[in-house]
Structure 1
Amino acid sequence: MASRNQPSMIKVKRTNDPADDINVLLLGQTGVGKSTFINGLANYLCNDTLEQAANDQMQAIIPSAFSFTHDETFEERMINIGLDDEHENFNEHGQSCTQQCRSFVFPVGEKNLRIIDAPGIGDTRGLDQDNKNFHEILTFISQYEHLNGICILLKPNEERLTILFRFCINELLRHLHESAKENIIFVFTNARSTFFKPGATSKILRALLDEHKQKQNIEVSFTRDNTFLLDNEPFRYLALRKNSIELSNEQTLSYQKSWEHTVKEYSNLMRHIVTRPLHAVSNTLSLNEAEQLIRKLTRPIAETAKLIQENIQLAKQHKENVLKNPKIASQGLPQNDVRIRHLDNPRTVCTSDKCCQTITVNNEIKIEYKSKCHDICYLKGVVQETINDPRMLDCEVIDYKTGQCTKCKCSWQKHQHITYEYETNVRRLTEASSLSDIDKRISDLKDEKSKIEDVYKKLSKFLHANAILPLNDDILEYLRLFIKEEQMKKSAGNQNNDVIQGLEQMMKDYEEEINLFKKTIENEKDRSNAKDVLKPDEIFPLVGSLYRLPINGKKIREQVDGLKISQNNISSKREVFVELPVKANSSTIMRQFQNIISNK
């Protein structure tokens, strides 16, 4: 029992330097046992023996369930462990299936050990879901600077799953940067069934790695040094004991041997992980991060294009007025200024005609969204502003069967997921008082508009050639929305023909160029090497040129940076800080972990 001055639980040190954290990514097929790997570790950290663990409070970090059949009566019973969790689903076999990435941070001495649990590869919903899962994994790990280990979990005997197995391994290696090969670790689960040997999987894995070496000229090591054989069945034993199910002495002895072997393997695994060179996540993410950045730019680019059209029209109108009445020149050039208001939480709003209205603010006609359908909307999988995205169907205010919003009764296709509001107000540029000043402003705005459109077209071509996920031209959705809004303003009396025409021309030019590009790459075997396609390392300098635009660059960057912060906030809500009983500090495996880390 803890003394009054001694804390009853060991807590994660949240003020630690993230550079000192030990980050381990778990990858593998659906049902291979990633969640059980984490649950098993929590119990090994707290107790030295299986019997001690059976008499202690069970650590169930991730909820799971499994079916147990009694040896003599053949009675089948579902064993549930842990509390229900929105992040986990159970399949027909009772296996815990991780739906999205989460990280579990364990206190280990003076360091934090972060285990990242990822959705399974080889999803029963098919290739599209696997691609989405990979995108989810790469997006999630982008918040961390490094990975110490990339553990690929496998079952020992996979000879009947060669096609699925091949896909999983090939996809994993395809998405990892070459430098990650030093951090790849193979972990065999359920290894007790093969007497803690890799089994038939070994031959298939070696053949796949040899094939990868021949095609990519990259050798991924598969030796005893980076291979670990575990069996977390003792975790199920503990669950059975907690459910008052008695097992034979023979079964208990088998589980005890499994516990002892697996504890040693966990220690060896940790020793190997902490001696690996740190893998910079930015290397693996070069392509994915470029894609994310481009998608984040969509709304800022569209908003800026509309703003430029509005300011060009204001400048032209002011020039006409000055020609009629030169005295008003001293008042300065009216221009729309932008204020980016970041929301405390992501929000779902309806953009349909019936849920929008025109209002007049300071003699200016604006659009107001009346229907804030879901004020706090942490929509899974959405990491940037989106319109007409099928993932909107997952918003809790959308009836999945009808596709209609339960609040406003409009279709999900009319809903937008936003993290910030874009507000404009007219201000006067007193430094632009002469006709030549006005002409220069119009010229500068047109120049920025041309540069923005040129950059975005190049970025879009990169996405069409390289995107991990199937691509929609989100920019077109925004332009259609803005054109509709401007037409509503026009009906309310606003003189904005130039703005409407400018947006329509931008949409036409974009569609023509991108459609032509799509046709040119249709028959390309390697689209990424097609003519006129940027390389990943060219993306960030090009985007940097947008941020440096003298008139609108700062606001473009402010929007993108805000989206990054919003994304990180959403990801941080999926981090679980594990608290362990204070007795864990004296367990054999915890002391071994601490020694390994301190002697690194």
Structure 2
Amino acid sequence: MARRNESSTIKANRYCRPEDEINILLMGQTGVGKSTFINGLANYLCKDTLDEAVNNRMQAIIPSSFNFTHSNTFEQKMIIIGEENEHEKFSVLGQSCTQQCRSFILPVGNRNLRIIDTPGVADTRGLEQDAKNFHEILTYISQYEHLNAICILLKPNEERLTILFKFCIQELLRHIHLSANENIIFIFTNIRSTMFAPGSTSHILKVLLDQYKTNYQVDVPFKRNNTFLLDNEAFRFLAVRQNGIQLSDEQTASYQKSWDYTIKEYSRLVGYIATRSMHGILDTLSLNEAEQVVRKLTRPIAETAKLIEQNIQLAKQHKDKVLKNPQLASKGIPQNDAAIVKLSHPRTVCRGEKCCRVVNINNEQKTEYTSKCHDKCYLKGVVQEAVNDIRISHCEVIDVMTGNCLTCGCHWEKHHHITYEYQTNLTHLNENASLSDIDKYITSLRNEQEQIKDVYKKLAKFLHANAILPLNEDILEYLQQFIHEEKMKNNAGARNADVIDALQKMVDDHKKEMELFKETIKNGRDRPNAKDVLQPAEIFPLVGTLYHLPINGKKIREQVDGLKLSQDNIKRDREIYLELPAQANSSKVMLAFKTAIPPRERF
């Protein structure tokens, strides 16, 4: 939309509190019209009548295209609104036009209306692409605290319960938690084609939902109050007129009827959404969210495991010195204190052997990575802190032909996408600690280490028992990397053999336990070990125990929070704050929002 001067526009509030935002998630089959829904709403928010809309600038938020055939000459013309970009691809038929989730934020009084546009279901590229699309959707919405509405868009004229239609509904509902039932909304698009009625789709949808209720005791509401009939053809009429095509009075009258009807339905829709209670995102404990928890914790757990082993070794060495010379007790127990340095931008770094070196800092051997291959890397879709994420091969510093980095020459598999640096500095604790105090401290470190390993194993087992896609064992990759670093330091003279042995034992124990568990799952989920699998509601409380560990809990939390901050930066990169003409403040649809919004609430 064109920029306008301050007095002629209203703007979304960039500092709106999360609980004051109205978040709407749009989901549906590829080609059902999610992007058109957003474009349509922006125009209905601004103008009450078609005449007003025709005589003013059209609000075109998302690029799109459609074919128009003139009724008299049968001349066909491609109508293009905006320009195709990395987010919107409308040149390939059958593929979801929306390639990634994006949020469009509109002003509603002193609150924000956020519409989350998503890739479509039943993409012609197959089930694998659909799985990627759902992963993208669930990963994206996990960055928000709540949803007010989950809108499932449908075409009104499905004639029979096809496999494709059944797949779409099943996949959409499979990823929605039961607690969100009252937030589910069904929207029929292109309703003018069925005389402003839901058509045959409503019958087959009801049959399908009745089956779910009978077979799974899942009652998904499908009633008039949560079902809306919209026709956004009037938006296309505006696009046709903008392209200089004149239509007959009869055609214009038809679009006028469509506009008037849809204004009423949009007003009813926004009024209904504004009265929905907030559905907390964390209540949707999907497998995707569990995977995100594990991914966020993997590096912090691995870093902490290494730190604990180093500190146990330092404490043991201090005890040996105190036994020989009691006066050394006054210095306190030497320990490595971790500092989490958040990066202002995600960064691609190389962890290859030739890109790191051992340096001596204050008589301590440390590993230093010398190659910051891409200092500001906002690569789309790559998992933060993950190891061997194939998507990092698409970073602009990686040669597409060879897979090698143009900066350092190493293969992409040696590269990580990081959001923070983990730095350690030697400090001293508990001055004049007795030998008994040192033993107690070492025991405390060991106890925390066991708790951390236990939590991670339980999370990994949950995913292995339930996930469709296998879990990438990033924890092992990190530990192997740390073992390699410790060996480099050992070769440079560091006395760290105990650290190397302990990390290797951790790798071996984890592999052995997970292999036994996988075999158990493979042979039947009713075996005793399988019964130990976490329930979804247990995941977040379990993770919370890590944050409360007295010695290392705070640093684990800092690392996870640092990752969340980075995700927020990326989220902002995919959020579009919109301006609307000032007259939108008094439109029928806007007033329906304002009058229906209840007092501020917290979920």
Short-chain TM bin: over 0.9
| 1:336 CA displacement | 1.1
What is residue 194 of structure 2 aligned with on the other side?
194
What is residue 379 of structure 2 aligned with on the other side?
379
What is residue 168 of structure 2 aligned with on the other side?
168
Residue 512 of structure 1 pairs with residue 488 of structure 2: no
Please say which of residues 110-119 and 320-329 is displaced more in the overlay. Answer: 320-329
- Which amino acid in structure 2 is aligned with residue 587 of structure 1? S
Question: Are 1:27 and 1:152, in contact at CA under 8 Å, matched by a contact in 2?
Answer: yes
Question: Are 2:268 and 2:592, in contact at CA under 8 Å, matched by a contact in 1?
Answer: no
Question: Are 2:123 and 2:129, in contact at CA under 8 Å, matched by a contact in 1?
Answer: yes
Query: Matched residues in 2 for 1:250 and 1:594: separation?
Result: 35
* SS of 2:344 mapped into structure 1: strand
* SS of 1:7 mapped into structure 2: helix
| 1:544 CA displacement | 2.5
Deviations 1:19-57 (A, max 9, x none): 233222111111111111000111112222223222211
Question: Are 1:432 and 1:438, in contact at CA under 8 Å, matched by a contact in 2?
Answer: no
What is residue 209 of structure 2 aligned with on the other side?
209
- Which amino acid in structure 2 is aligned with residue 330 of structure 1? S
In the alignment, structure 2 segments of 5+ residues that lack a partner are none
TM-score by length of 1: 0.93
Query: Matched residues in 1 for 2:17 and 2:430: separation?
Result: 48
Question: Are 1:67 and 1:93, in contact at CA under 8 Å, matched by a contact in 2?
Answer: no
Equivalent residue runs for 1:200-599 within 5 Å: 200-285=200-285, 288-431=288-431, 433-467=433-467, 469-524=469-524, 530-597=530-597
What is residue 120 of structure 2 aligned with on the other side?
120
CA RMSD of aligned residues (A): 2.6
TM-score by length of 2: 0.92
Aligned-pair identity (%): 67
Instruction: Note closer, same or farther for the CA distance 1:463–1:324 as it changes in structure 2 (3 Å cut).
Output: same
| 1:225 CA displacement | 2.3
Query: Matched residues in 1 for 2:424 and 2:183: separation?
Result: 49
* SS of 1:121 mapped into structure 2: coil
Query: Matched residues in 2 for 1:528 and 1:335: separation?
Result: 41
What is residue 106 of structure 2 aligned with on the other side?
106
What is residue 158 of structure 2 aligned with on the other side?
158
Deviations 1:531-553 (A, max 9, x none): 11011222223222222222222
* SS of 2:273 mapped into structure 1: helix
Please say which of residues 89-98 and 342-351 is displaced more in the overlay. Answer: 89-98
- Which amino acid in structure 1 is aligned with residue 208 of structure 2? L
Instruction: Note closer, same or farther for the CA distance 1:94–1:175 as it changes in structure 2 (3 Å cut).
Output: closer
Instruction: Note closer, same or farther for the CA distance 1:401–1:52 as it changes in structure 2 (3 Å cut).
Output: farther
| 1:429 CA displacement | 2.4
Query: Matched residues in 1 for 2:6 and 2:119: separation?
Result: 38
* SS of 1:576 mapped into structure 2: strand
Query: Matched residues in 1 for 2:461 and 2:381: separation?
Result: 23
* SS of 1:24 mapped into structure 2: strand
| 1:428 CA displacement | 2.0
Please say which of residues 523-532 and 559-568 is displaced more in the overlay. Answer: 523-532
- Which amino acid in structure 2 is aligned with residue 329 of structure 1? A
Residue 24 of structure 1 pairs with residue 24 of structure 2: yes
- Which amino acid in structure 1 is aligned with residue 188 of structure 2? F
Query: Matched residues in 2 for 1:408 and 1:161: separation?
Result: 55
Please say which of residues 290-299 and 95-104 is displaced more in the overlay. Answer: 95-104
* SS of 1:98 mapped into structure 2: coil
What is residue 92 of structure 1 aligned with on the other side?
92
Question: Are 1:348 and 1:375, in contact at CA under 8 Å, matched by a contact in 2?
Answer: yes
- Which amino acid in structure 2 is aligned with residue 202 of structure 1? S
Query: Matched residues in 2 for 1:217 and 1:264: separation?
Result: 34
* SS of 2:162 mapped into structure 1: helix
Deviations 1:519-541 (A, max 9, x none): 11124469999311011222223
* SS of 2:422 mapped into structure 1: strand
- Which amino acid in structure 2 is aligned with residue 186 of structure 1? F
Deviations 1:418-453 (A, max 9, x none): 111000111122435433333333322222222221
Deviations 1:140-180 (A, max 9, x none): 32343332221100011233772121112112222212222
Question: Are 1:338 and 1:424, in contact at CA under 8 Å, matched by a contact in 2?
Answer: yes
| 1:73 CA displacement | 5.6
Question: Are 1:142 and 1:285, in contact at CA under 8 Å, matched by a contact in 2?
Answer: no
- Which amino acid in structure 1 is aligned with residue 50 of structure 2? L
Instruction: Note closer, same or farther for the CA distance 1:225–1:330 as it changes in structure 2 (3 Å cut).
Output: closer
In the alignment, structure 1 segments of 5+ residues that lack a partner are none
Please say which of residues 156-165 and 44-53 is displaced more in the overlay. Answer: 156-165
Number of aligned residues: 597
What is residue 149 of structure 1 aligned with on the other side?
149
Query: Matched residues in 2 for 1:252 and 1:528: separation?
Result: 69
* SS of 1:92 mapped into structure 2: coil
